[in-house]
């Protein structure tokens, strides 16, 4: 596979954005990424989005956005893998450039969720689960994750309060990210007092949705120079894996098989071990997912992911910094856009642009985006060259 580099990145602040439409938000991130790359256009556009048919009455989003952005007559397509859509679009763009079919591509994740009621959005998010065997039974997406967390507490003997460090770290880091949805420090006390959503998941275990878009420009690596104060950002590894879509079909619902397989293949491709990574943007849609991701990706034994938080190993100065820009928990989770935010944030770390939450000397970082309750996992490792 031909080596591919990230030439530019862009993102929009995540919020309830009443003043801009879906296409305007997407356009903002696209123009920022193109400007950052110093390009006016690219050969192809790959859009990651989950909910536009259901929330925005819009299909054919790739072409709609190519039209809006001014990529007239260029190739454009939408890629969907529930909350893993963003990274899936990035991987599609990567393969297009790596195959030689296109010379440049824009990967863009976008979601505009505020235009409907919470009730509508909850129903729309449930389409990530198995319609016939999960959603039809009435279980919501947070409900599925609550079942998993409850089982984890039972199986490994943790208390709910032990998950607080994940949320505290995410909120603390988001204070320094102007694009984050929430700028609000929290304490362990507040974490425990927070309103229950679906036992044992409370409001501060769960990530907020929102409107947002993030994008990156990909080109063959040989076309990019490594500049003194701006390293060349190589895509060192990329892998996608799946698990059963229904949680109840898994032999062990407490192990993220697809995250394990996808990360392991990335380590092989990049020639790295977990301890070689400087930063890990993981998919903390709920605090339980942060723990399970750390375990599946080799940073902790089964049932021990929570300990990393308690030991302060997940902060920007810790052994494996996660959610350095706020994570899904506090940067926000505009579902189909999240995977692209993660890629953009790892790129920012490798470019040394993260200020107070900069991981010193970061050279390699991993981004892992998850669709459904661990059903689709897309992992990338970036390296500063």
Which active-site residues does the annotation give?
Answer: 83, 333
Total binding residues for a copy of itself by CB under 8 A?
A: 68
Residue 285 main-chain phi, psi, to 5 deg: -60, -35
Q: Please list, residue by residue across 149-184, b when 16 or more beta carbons sit within 10 angstroms of its beta carbon and e when fewer do.
A: bbebbeeeebebebbbbbbbbbbbbbebbebbbbee
Q: Is 356 exposed, middle or buried (0-12, 13-18, 19+ CB in 10 A)?
A: exposed
* CA-based end-to-end distance of the chain: 18
Q: Give the footprint of a copy of itself on residues 315-374 (CB under 8 A).
A: 371-372
Q: Which residue has the tokens 């062990």?
A: 252
**DSSP conformational letter for 5:** E
Exactly one of 28, 80, 281, 345 binds a copy of itself (CB under 8 A); which one? 80
Q: Is 81 in the site for a copy of itself (CB under 8 A)?
A: yes
Q: What is the rounded CA–CA span in Å between residue 238 and residue 267? A: 9
Select from 158-166, 207-215, 223-231, 253-261 the region that touches a copy of itself (CB under 8 A): 253-261
DSSP assignment of 202-248, as one string? ETTTBPP--BEEEEEEEEEGGG---BTTB--EEEEEEEEEE--SSGG
Q: Is 266 in the site for a copy of itself (CB under 8 A)?
A: no
Exactly one of 42, 50, 198, 362 binds a copy of itself (CB under 8 A); which one? 50
Q: Is 220 in the site for a copy of itself (CB under 8 A)?
A: no
Q: Is 122 in the site for a copy of itself (CB under 8 A)?
A: no
Q: Give the footprint of a copy of itself on residues 132-191 (CB under 8 A).
A: 132, 135
Minimum distance, C-beta of residue 281 to a copy of itself, in the bound complex (Å): 20
Q: Please list, residue by residue across 190-206, b when 16 or more beta carbons sit within 10 angstroms of its beta carbon and e when fewer do.
A: bbeebeebbebbbebbb
Q: Is 249 in the site for a copy of itself (CB under 8 A)?
A: yes
Q: Which is nearer to a copy of itself, 53 or 352 (CB)?
A: 53
Minimum distance, C-beta of residue 212 to a copy of itself, in the bound complex (Å): 19
Q: Is 69 in the site for a copy of itself (CB under 8 A)?
A: no
Q: Where along the sequence are the contacts to a copy of itself (CB under 8 A)?
A: 1-2, 21, 23, 44, 50-51, 53-54, 56-64, 66-67, 71-82, 84, 88, 91-92, 94-96, 98-101, 124, 126-128, 130-132, 135, 238-246, 249, 257-258, 261, 371-372, 375-376
């Amino acid at each position: 596979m031909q080596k591919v580099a990230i030439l530019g990145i862009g993102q929009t602040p995540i919020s309830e954005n009443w003043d801009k439409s879906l296409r305007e938000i997407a356009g903002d991130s696209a123009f920022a990424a193109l400007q950052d790359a110093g390009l006016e256009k690219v050969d192809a556009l790959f859009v990651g989005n989950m909910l536009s048919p259901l929330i925005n009455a819009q299909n054919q989003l790739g072409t709609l956005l190519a039209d809006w952005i001014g990529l007239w007559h260029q190739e454009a397509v939408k890629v969907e893998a529930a909350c893993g859509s963003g990274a899936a679009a990035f991987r599609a763009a990567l393969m297009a450039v790596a195959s030689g079919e296109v010379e440049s591509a824009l990967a863009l994740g976008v979601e505009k969720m505020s235009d409907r009621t919470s009730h509508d959005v909850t129903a729309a998010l449930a389409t990530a689960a198995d319609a016939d065997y999960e959603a039809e039974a009435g279980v919501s997406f947070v409900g599925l994750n609550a079942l998993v967390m409850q089982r984890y507490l039972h199986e490994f003997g943790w208390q709910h309060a032990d998950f607080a460090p994940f949320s505290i770290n995410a909120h603390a880091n988001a204070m320094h990210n102007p694009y984050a949805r929430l700028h609000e420090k929290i304490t362990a006390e507040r974490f425990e007092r927070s309103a229950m959503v679906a036992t044992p998941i409370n409001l501060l275990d769960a990530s907020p949705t929102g409107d947002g878009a993030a994008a990156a420009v990909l080109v063959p690596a040989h076309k990019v120079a490594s500049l003194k104060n701006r390293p060349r950002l190589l895509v060192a590894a990329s892998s996608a894996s799946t698990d059963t879509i229904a949680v109840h079909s898994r032999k062990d619902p407490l192990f993220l098989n697809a995250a394990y397989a996808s990360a392991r293949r990335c380590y092989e491709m990049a020639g790295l071990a977990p301890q070689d990574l400087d930063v890990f943007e993981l998919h903390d849609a709920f605090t339980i997912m942060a723990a399970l991701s750390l375990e599946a990706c080799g940073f902790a034994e089964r049932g021990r992911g929570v300990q990393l938080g308690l030991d302060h190993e997940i902060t920007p100065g810790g052994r494996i910094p996660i959610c350095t820009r706020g994570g899904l928990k506090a940067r926000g989770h505009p579902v189909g856009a999240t995977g692209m935010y993660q890629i953009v944030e790892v790129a920012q770390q490798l470019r040394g642009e993260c200020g107070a939450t900069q991981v010193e000397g970061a050279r390699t970082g991993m981004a892992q985006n998850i669709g459904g309750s661990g059903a689709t996992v897309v992992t990338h490792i970036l390296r500063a060259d």
